[in-house]
Structure 1
Amino acid sequence: MIEKLKIPLFAIAIGLAGLLVFPILMESDYSDPGADKLARGNTAYQQGEYDEAAGWFLQAAKLGDAEAQYRFAMLYRDGKGVDRDDSQAVRWLKLSAAQKHAESQFELAKLFDSGRGMDQADPATAVFWLRQAAEQGQAGAQLRLAVHFAEGRGVSQDESKALHWALQATRSNNKEAEPYLQNLLKRVKAKAEQGDAKAQFVLAMTFSRGEGIDADLKSAEMWLRQSAARGNSEAQYHLGSFLASLDHGRQPEEAAKWYLAAAMQGHLEAASAYGTMAATGNGIATDRHQAIQWLTKAAEAGDAKASSSLGILYGETPGFSHDDNVAVTWLQKAADAGVTKAQNNLAAMYALGRGVDKNLEQALSLFRKAAEEDGKAQYNLGIMSLRGIHVVQDSEKAAAWFHKAEKSGDHKAYLVLALLHHLGRGLSFNEVEASQWYEKAAAQNEPDAIFNLALLHYNSADFAKAFRYFLIAAKNGDAQAGNLVASMYQRGQGVSYNVEHVVAWYRKAAEQDYAPAQFNLANLYRKGEGVEQNDKLAVSWYSKAAEAGHAQSQNALAYMYALGRGVTEDQDQARKWFNRAASQGLEISRQNLALLGKEQSGFILASHAIDTDLRASLLFEEPFDLARHLDIYTTP
Structure 2
Amino acid sequence: MLYDNPKSQYKLGMMYKEGYGVVQDYSKALSWLTKALENGQEIATLLIGLIYYHGGTGVDRNYTKALHWFLEANNFILYEDKSTIRYSASVQYFTALIYQKGYCTSVDYSLALEWFMKAAANGKKSAMYEIGMMYLNGEGVRKQDDLACQWLTRSAELGYLSAQLCLGIFYYETSISCDYKQAMHWFQNAADVYSHRRKKQLKGCYVAQYYIGIIYLRGHGVYVDYELALQWFAKSAKNGYFLGKFELSLMYFKGQGVPKQEKLAVQWLTDLADLGHVESQVELGCIHLQETLTFCDFETAMGWFQKAANNNNNAQAQFNIGWMYRYGLGVEINHEIAFHWIEKSANQGYSMSQNMLGEMYSNGRGTTQDLNEAVLWFRKSLNNDENAIAQYNLAYCYFTGEGVPINEHTALIFLRKSAAQGYSEAQNELGVMHCEGELVEQNYGKGMMWFRKSIEHEKNSSSLCNIGDLYYGGLGVEKDVSLALSYYTRSAKMGNEDAIRILKQLQCTSDTLVNNDNKDINPHVMKSFKINLHNDAYGSDIMQRIIEGIKSFCVEDRHTVMLETEEESTRFFYIEDPSDAMDDIRKESPKFFYVEDTSKFFHVEDMSATFAERKRKGVQFLDL
**Structure 2 counterparts to residues 114-263 of structure 1, below 5 A:** 130-135=132-137, 136-137=145-146, 138-139=148-149, 141-142=151-152, 161-165=162-166, 186-188=192-194, 198=203, 201-202=206-207, 204-205=209-210, 207-208=212-213, 218=227, 221-229=230-238, 231-243=240-252, 251=260, 253=262, 254-263=264-273
Match of 1:459 among 460, 465, 473: 473
Does 1:312 pair with 2:317?
Answer: no
Q: 1:447 aligns with which of 453, 461, 475?
A: 461
> Match for 1:235: what amino acid?
G
CA contact (8 A) 1:344 1:376 kept: yes
Query: Which of 367, 373, 379 is equivalent to 1:356?
Result: 367
Q: CA deviation at 1:449?
A: 2.2
Matched, 1:324 2:335: yes
Matched, 1:411 2:424: yes
Q: Matches of residues 353-392 of structure 1 in structure 2 within 5 Å?
A: 353-372=364-383, 373-392=386-405
Partners of 1:268 and 1:344 in 2: CA distance: 23
- The residue type paired with residue 490 of structure 1 is V
In the alignment, what sits opposite 1:80?
none
Aligned to 2:572: none
Q: Distance in 2 between matches of 1:299 and 1:337?
A: 12
Q: Which has the higher contact order (CA 8 A, sep 6+)?
A: 1
Query: How far has the Cα of 1:329 moved from its partner?
Result: 1.9
Cα contact 1:382–1:398 (8 A) shared by 2: yes
Does structure 1 residue 535 correspond to structure 2 residue 551? Answer: yes
Which secondary structure state, in structure 1, belongs to the residue aligned with residue 366 of structure 2?
coil
Change in Cα spacing, 1:384 to 1:498, as seen in structure 2 (3 Å) is closer
Amino acid at match of 2:282: S
Give 2:471's aligned amino acid.
H
The one-letter amino acid paired with 1:133 is Y
- 8 A Cα contact 2:401 2:407, kept in partner: yes
Distance 2:222 2:502 in 1: 55
Query: Aligned pair 1:480/2:494, yes or no?
Result: no
1:490 deviation in Å? 1.4
1:400 correspondence with 2:413: yes
Q: From 296, 305, 310, give the equivalent of 1:295.
A: 305
1:437 correspondence with 2:414: no
Q: Which residue type is aligned with residue 163 of structure 1?
A: Q
Tell me: CA distance 1:246–1:384, structure 2 relative to 1, closer, same or farther (3 Å): farther
Matching residue within 577, 580, 588 for 1:568 = 580
Distance in 1, Cα, partners of 2:270 & 2:557: 60
Q: Which amino acid aligns with 1:480?
A: R
For the residues of structure 1 that align with 2:189 and 2:558, how far apart are their CA atoms? Answer: 88
Residues 128 and 352 of structure 1: CA distance in aligned 2, closer, same or farther (over 3 Å): farther
TM-score, length-scaled by structure 1 = 0.55
Question: Cα offset for 1:321?
Answer: 3.6
Partner SS, residue 201 of structure 1: helix
3-state secondary structure, aligned to 1:535: strand
**1:412 corresponds to which letter in structure 2?**
E
Q: Measure how far apart 1:164 and its partner are.
A: 1.3
| C-alpha contact (below 8 Å) 1:106/1:133 kept by paired residues | no
Distance 1:459 1:214, change over 3 A: closer
Matched residues in 2 for 1:378 and 1:465: separation?
35
Larger C-alpha radius of gyration, 1 or 2? 1
- Mapped contact 1:376–1:405 kept (Cα < 8 A): yes
Task: Measure, in 1, the Cα distance between the counterparts of 2:430 and 2:222.
Answer: 44
1:39-58 maps to which residues of 2 (within 5 A)?
none
- Checking the alignment, whether the CA contact within 8 Å between 1:420 and 1:427 is kept in structure 2 is yes
Structure 2 residue corresponding to 1:109, chosen from 82, 94, 116: 116
1:363-407 superposed Cα distances (whole Å, 9 cap, x missing partner): 111112223501111111122222332333344433322211111
One-letter amino acid of the counterpart of residue 164, structure 1: L
Q: Residue 351 of structure 1: CA displacement? A: 0.8
Instruction: Report the residue type matching 2:274 in the other structure.
Output: M
Q: TM-score, normalised by structure 2?
A: 0.56
Aligned counterpart, 1:469: 484
2:179 aligns with none
Write the letter of the residue equivalent to 1:224: F
Are the structure 2 counterparts of residues 289 and 223 from structure 1 closer, same or farther at C-alpha, using a change threshold of 3 Å?
A: same
Matches within 5 A, 1:539-550: 539-541=554-556
Shift of 1:442: 4.7
- Aligned-pair distance for 1:415? 1.6
Report the 3-state secondary structure (helix = DSSP H, G, I; strand = E; otherwise coil) of the residue aligned with 1:491.
coil
Q: Classify 1:484/1:257 alpha carbon distance in 2 versus 1 (closer, same or farther; 3 Å).
A: farther
Q: CA deviation at 1:507?
A: 4.2
Cα contact 1:188–1:202 (8 A) shared by 2: no
- Partners of 1:187 and 1:588 lie apart in 2 by 81
- Cα distance between partner residues in 2 of 1:463 and 1:358: 47
The 1:449/1:526 distance shift into structure 2, 3 A limit, reads farther
In structure 2, list runs of 5 or more residues that go unmatched. Answer: 1-74, 76-91, 101-108, 138-144, 176-183, 494-498, 533-541, 561-576, 591-608
1:217 Cα offset (Å): 6.4
2:358 aligns to what? Answer: 347
Aligned residues: 437
- Give the distance between the partners of 1:130 and 1:463, measured in 2 at CA: 62
Identical amino acids, percent of aligned pairs: 18
Q: Check 1:581–1:267 CA distance in 2 against 1; reply closer, same or farther (3 A cut).
A: closer
Aligned-partner Cα distance in 2 for 1:268–1:228: 16
RMSD after superposition: 5.4
Aligned partner of 1:271 in structure 2 is 281
Q: Tell me, what secondary structure is at the counterpart of 1:338?
A: coil
- Whether the 8 Å CA contact 1:343–1:366 is kept in 2: the answer is yes
Q: 1:404 to 1:499 in 2, by over 3 A?
A: closer
The one-letter code of the counterpart of 2:515 is: R
Q: Among residues 421, 435, 449, which one is paired with 1:422 in the alignment? A: 435
For the residues of structure 1 that align with 2:292 and 2:403, how far apart are their CA atoms? Answer: 39
Cα separation, 1, equivalents of 2:170 and 2:610: 82
* Aligned-partner residue type, residue 375 of structure 1: A
Which structure: greater helix fraction? 1
- The 1-side partners of 2:521 and 2:411 are apart by 44
Task: Tell me if the contact between 2:395 and 2:415 (Cα under 8 Å) persists in the aligned partners.
Answer: yes
CA deviation map 1:202-230 (0-9, x unaligned): 4522543679x999864553353255356
Distance 2:117 2:453 in 1: 59
Unaligned runs of 5+ in 1: 1-76, 78-85, 95-101, 116-122, 151-158, 173-177, 509-521, 546-564, 590-603, 609-636
SS at match of 2:554: helix
